[in-house]
């Protein structure tokens, strides 16, 4: 009975350790959190207004017109990374994907310099 209990505990520790390792590695390799925002909507208290992702899908932002139909695309939409999002507004992030990746997560090594 004691041997079964001991085997169970050691396998639980191994499985738990593997879960922590998997979480650390996946956090390091994944893309940073991003939101599509309207750059022209900046508000000092709230940040940038979050808009539909379809406004940021294409490589260039801007409005488009298609065969006489009105489109409701945001004129200056862009991806905003690692932002604090609240009630449809995003703040304290960055428009630079590289900078967001350099911030890293648990177990990630940043590529920035250590000091000056």
Do 90 and 40 fall within a single domain? yes
pLDDT given at position 30: 67
Same domain, 11 and 24: yes
Q: Which residue has the higher pLDDT, 109 or 90?
A: 90
Indicate whether 50 and 86 sit together in one domain.
Answer: yes
Which of 8 and 51 is assigned the larger pLDDT? 51
The verdict on 21 and 77 lying in the same domain is no
Q: Model's pTM, two decimal places?
A: 0.55
Indicate whether 63 pLDDT > 90: no
The verdict on 50 and 95 lying in the same domain is yes
What's 76's DSSP letter?
T
* 116 or 49, which is more confident: 49
Number of domains in the chain: 2
Do 43 and 83 belong to one domain?
A: yes
Q: Tokens standing for 58?
A: 């294409």
Domain membership flag for residue 110: no
Query: Is 89 found in the same domain as 55?
Result: yes
pLDDT at 21: 52
Q: Are residues 59 and 89 in the same domain?
A: yes
Contacts of 46 (CB under 8 A, 6+ apart): 86, 87, 89, 91
**Which residues form the domain of 13?**
1-30
Residues 6 and 45 in one domain: no
> Do 23 and 36 reside in the same domain of the chain?
no
Q: Band of the pLDDT at 60, cuts 50, 70, 90?
A: very low
User: Do both 57 and 86 map to the same domain?
Assistant: yes
């Amino acid at each position: 009975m004691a041997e079964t209990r001991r085997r169970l505990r050691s396998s639980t520790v191994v499985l738990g350790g593997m879960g922590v390792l998997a979480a650390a590695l996946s956090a390091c390799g994944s893309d940073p959190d991003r939101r599509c925002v309207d750059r022209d909507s900046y508000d000092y208290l709230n940040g940038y207004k979050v808009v539909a992702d379809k406004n940021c899908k294409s490589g260039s932002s801007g409005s488009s017109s298609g065969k006489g139909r009105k489109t409701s695309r945001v004129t200056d939409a862009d991806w905003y990374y690692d932002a604090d999002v609240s009630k449809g507004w995003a703040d304290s992030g960055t428009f630079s994907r590289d900078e967001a990746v350099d911030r890293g997560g648990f177990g990630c090594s940043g590529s920035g310099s250590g000091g000056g």
